[in-house]
Amino acid sequence: LDLYVEALGFGLVSMSVIAIAAVGFTMQFGITNMINLAYGEVMISSAYVAYYINRAGISIWIGMVAAAVSGAVFSFLLNRFVYAPFQRKGTNLIGMVIVSLAVSLMIANLLLPIVGYYAVSYQNVTGDLIHIGPMILTVNQIAIIAVAVLVMLVIHGLLTYTRLGKAMRATAANPTLARNCGIPTQRVIDAVWLITGALCGMAGTIAAINSDSFAIANGASFLITVLAAAVLGGAGQPYGAMIGAVLIGIITELSAATWSPQYKEVVAFGILVLVMVLRPQGLLAKRGALAAAG
Amino acid sequence: MNTFYATTLLVYAGVDIIACLSLNLVFGVSGIVNFSFIVFQAVGAYTAAVLSMPPQSTPGYDWEFYVGGFNLPFPIPWVGGAIAGGLLAIPVGFVVLRKLRSDYQAIALLVMSVIANTVITNADKFLNGAAGLALVPKPLSVQVDPNTDAYDYLYVGITVVCVAIVLVIAHRIVSSPYGRSLRAMRERELAAMSIGKNPVAMKMTVFIVGGVIAGLSGAVLVGFISTWAPSVWLYPETIILFAAIIVGGRGNNIGAILGAILVPVGFEEVTRLIPGTIGPPGLIPALQWVAIGLLIIGFLWFRPDGVVPESRRVFDGGPAREVQ
């Protein structure tokens, strides 16, 4: 039983990581109608920003903030100079997916000569052990969970109580109508890319903290887990992505504990296939894109 | 330029043309974004390999771990590889093609490609894991000595025959009423449904045909290079073929052939001439991938129809009007 409790502890950590990433991904999709397959690569490039700051002897948590900023700027520029022009040109959904995959390939291979092929890891990130009942977590793992809970609350507050959040939901529901009501959809979309990019950068850093080491090749596996959580919850739905992250996090860690950690992504993929066969619209789809919770 | 280089280039060109014709049927003509194309090629290659290899206990092969090992003579492994590609298309199509939106299909297939590679890499007793299969017997090597120029020419000849067969099939499909229905479905699925076409059945059929051809391309390739490992079928390989179709021109076979010659063959060969000593190790291959990405984005932006755009088919007997 201890094995399962321990796995549950890891599950809490990995669901926190996935939740931050998946909420960002799904908001990009829900509001800007863009399946951004370069998301995993933006995550990994932000993780490297944090790595270089951390290597200079600065705390990884400051590195994480820098990674969030770099993720935000990167995503914003990506949309401004690549995705948005193609969307304005009337490129169809399939074309956009191909564009984003090409972008993903380019980011990964532009980074490779800069950061090298070898896996790297952050310094001084293990921290002390803390016992919570039978669960053993490190201080940093608890910090990750706290950060994730905080981010989820901020996103919830943003979408529910602020003008910007309401404008985002309106843009997601019907961009033309939103524009006619005087919502500056262009600026809303810019804000979405900044916010989701920041989430992406944070997620990349804490995913890297959570794994012992990381390399460019991890971008693809990040993307798979994020896709699985987002699709499971219903693509385009932040609350769905949170639920998806909880389920994927727990299930993959339990499978890693009982079966083999090599097959974590395979399990995530299995869930993805099941969802696509049984309920392709995802768990929360009936609420409509970006509907308020409750 | 020596014989070996020339024949290698020709066989690679043949394989890429077969692959592009297959991808063109599925993606260009029918609009299914098959991001796991390379998995179908890999299945064909693995199947052809284990069908032609002797059982694992044979001396000289006992250091590899693989299932099967049937030691079958030449045409059977290739046919087997093609059939395996088609068989794989059935469950994949069942999951992906029935209910999902086109962009969901694309991500599902992309994820499948990554996962399939992970599974085969980690399952080291199944197809020898990350090390992959080696010493795959060359077809007809009993009859002709594979270390001669004559054998290389023979292989080129067999490849050309395969390309010709595939081209005839692809041409017949594209120009048939079925091909017309596929294009109608690609352009507007709802409209195609309204005149009684069943898009799921049509997509499944073309997906299976595409899988068969992709499997054949893998079989031809593995017979020539004699090895097959997970590192040669990572998902970016599919992107090269997509680049080829986009550059050549979606939806027509001439464009697919041209794309295969321009991108996987021409582009990769030209960059191979750049000395690898420039910059840090791995710089040139990395920049090659960047260039493939730029090629896709550039063509989608400036010339989305490719070098040879699909010809607009207009019914002569219809009322004269400007088709937008």
Cβ A105–B287 below 8 Å, yes or no?
no
User: Using CB atoms and an 8 Å cut-off, which of residues 114-173 of chain B contact chain A?
Assistant: 114-115, 118-119, 122
Secondary-structure percent of chain A, ordered helix, strand, coil, rounded to 5: 75, 5, 20
> Is residue A150 predicted with pLDDT exceeding 90?
yes
> Is residue B188 predicted with pLDDT exceeding 80?
yes
% of chain A beyond a pLDDT of 70 = 95
| Contacts for A91 with CB less than 8 Å, ≥ 6 apart | A99, B300, B304
* pLDDT bucket at A211, cuts 50 / 70 / 90: confident
Interchain CB contact of B17 with A (< 8 Å): no
Cβ A265–B115 below 8 Å, yes or no?
yes
* pLDDT bucket at B45, cuts 50 / 70 / 90: very high
Whether residue B47 contacts residue B40, with contact meaning beta carbons closer than 8 Å, is answered with no
Minimum mean pLDDT among A285-289, B23-27, B140-144: which range? A285-289
% of chain B beyond a pLDDT of 70 = 93
Looking at residue B287, its pLDDT comes to 84
Chain B residues lying within 8 Å of A260, measured CB to CB: 122
Cβ B246–A98 below 8 Å, yes or no?
yes
Minimum mean pLDDT among A18-32, A35-49, A137-151, B308-322: which range? B308-322
Euclidean distance between CA atoms A233 and A227, whole angstroms: 10
Q: Note the pLDDT tens digit of each residue in B137-164.
A: 888 877 888 888 888 899 999 999 999 9
Chain B residues lying within 8 Å of A108, measured CB to CB: 289
Euclidean distance between CA atoms B304 and A92, whole angstroms: 11
What predicted TM-score, i.e. pTM, was given to this entire model?
A: 0.90
> Taking all residues of chain A, what is their mean pLDDT, rounded to a whole number?
86
Euclidean distance between CA atoms B167 and B257, whole angstroms: 9
Interchain CB contact of B270 with A (< 8 Å): no
Which one of B29, B33, B107 would you mutate to disrupt binding with A, by most A Cβ within 10 Å of its Cβ? Answer: B107
What residues are paired with A137 via a beta bridge?
Answer: A130
Q: Note the pLDDT tens digit of each residue in A88-135.
A: 998 888 889 999 999 999 999 999 888 887 888 887 666 677 777 777
* Mean pLDDT of the region B194-215: 93
Which one of A86, A96, A103, A105 would you mutate to disrupt binding with B, by most B Cβ within 10 Å of its Cβ? Answer: A105
Chain B residues lying within 8 Å of A269, measured CB to CB: 111-112, 115
Chain B residues lying within 8 Å of A218, measured CB to CB: none
Chain A residues lying within 8 Å of B279, measured CB to CB: 113
Looking at residue A294, its pLDDT comes to 31
Chain A residues lying within 8 Å of B300, measured CB to CB: 86, 91, 95, 98-99
Q: How far is residue B120 from each of residues A59, A172, A268, B125, B128, measured CA to CA in Å?
A: 39, 40, 16, 9, 8
Beta-carbon contacts below 8 Å between A and B? 119
Looking at residue B162, its pLDDT comes to 95
